[in-house]
Amino acid sequence: MSTKTRYVILALVILIPSFVNLGVPIYNRDSPELFGMPFFYWFQTLWLFATAGFYMVFAHLKGKQQ
């Protein structure tokens, strides 16, 4: 894999969670509920863990590069 391609992948891995969290109209609602918790809260909690996963992928790819 070329260096330029690797940088594009690294940028996407970091930017995807940022764009999802900035898209407030996507998750600014109450339904559907999960265990009585409104969508807004459980969606944010889900993305907290997903973002940690994205960062782990980023760190792994970045470590391979050097």
Sign of the torsion formed by the C-alpha atoms of 66, 59, 61 and 20? negative
Amino acid letter at 1? M
Q: Cα–Cα distance between 15 and 29 in angstroms, integer?
A: 23
Q: What is the pLDDT, as a whole number, of residue 60?
A: 87
Tokens of 21: 């969290």
Residue the block writes with tokens 């690797």: 6
pLDDT (tens digit, 9 = 90+) per residue, 15-66?
988 898 888 888 888 889 989 999 999 999 999 999 999 889 888 888 876 5
Tokens of 56: 């782990």
